[in-house]
Amino acid sequence: MSNVARESVRIVLDVIDDEDGVRLDRVISDRLTDMSRSYAQQLMKSGDVLINGEAVKPAHRVRWGDKVEILLPPVEEPDDLPPDYLPIPIIYEDDDLLVFDKPPGVVTHPAPGHARGTLVNALRAIRPDLQFNNERLGVVHRLDKDTSGLIVVAKNERSRLFLLQQWQERKVVKRYTALVHDVIEEEKGTVDAPISRDPNNRKRMAVVRDGRPAVSHFDVARRFADSTLVDIHIETGRTHQIRVHMAFIGHPVVGDATYGRKRFSVPVPRQFLHAAYLKFDLPGDRGPLELETPLPPDLQGVLDQLSEGTPDD
């Protein structure tokens, strides 16, 4: 496949209230999770990042309401997005959007090391008529490679902006199912702990005192001898938020190779985390949409093994 130089891509970010006073390079790397802080600084030094139309230094601290413009230079990439026909179920579709039930092992967007076999490649195959000026097509949010569940894709720019606004304003109800290590005695709880990139390992996230606010609520659904099944509702949507928060309180997600423990009582194929429920407003004043998807077979199989000889409390 031939390579071509794509045109420059312009990204516009509106600074939200909990980013007020945060360094610009950090805001960019936190929002654009595929971009490192050092690369953001390079763009700023070359004048490719503007705040309200003016170039600023990497240490500049943003204010609520600022408009951040980022011009990404052309890069050599494969000629167009290659289509890949993947068995990814669509559980809802209308003229404005569709919702996938993403299986584990599928990366959301193409990235270094994942140029093929992503959700976006599959979208190009099944809906080749979608036209967007970037490699993410109309994908509104993302899930980690090994997290399964609901993910929303807009089919036009008007719908994309409408949906993005709901995500940014925290109006979307997002619930996950997770199995975590050890028994949680409380019936419910809240983790309110700021998250940012781990200062000692840029590939990880961590609870950091001056990080971006992050809030997760959990309810115990079922207890086993050495683990707890929980329903988690997140107010914010930080990178790896659930995995970081549950590890922070001493109950890491079972099967999590980055933040969890190596051993568990039964084999676990991947991190036990599933995006089970979404509620958001449809474009065009059509009211709310609620969607729910059950645990996939690989995770249900783990629970079935735990149920044997480990009855609920």
Residues noted as catalytic: 144
Q: For 182, what's the count of Cα atoms within 13 Å in the CB-facing half-sphere?
A: 11
- Cβ burial of 56 (10 Å; 0-12, 13-18, 19+) is middle
- Say whether 233 sits in a helix, a strand or coil: strand
Phi, psi torsion values for 242, nearest 5 degrees: -65, -45
**DSSP strand pairing (67-72 vs 49-51):** antiparallel
| Residue of 13, 130, 100, 118 whose CA lies nearest to 64 | 13
Q: What are the CA-CA distances from residue 282 to residues 4, 151, 157, 165, 173 (Å)?
A: 37, 14, 14, 12, 13
**Per-residue tokens: 205:** 């996230």
Count of positions (residues) in the chain: 313
Question: 111 — phi, psi (to 5°)?
Answer: -155, 170
CB-facing half-sphere around the CA of 77: CA atoms within 13 A: 18
CA distance 278 to 99: 10
3-state secondary structure 185-230: CCCEEEEECCEEEECCEEEEEEECCCCECCEEEEEEEEECCCEEEE
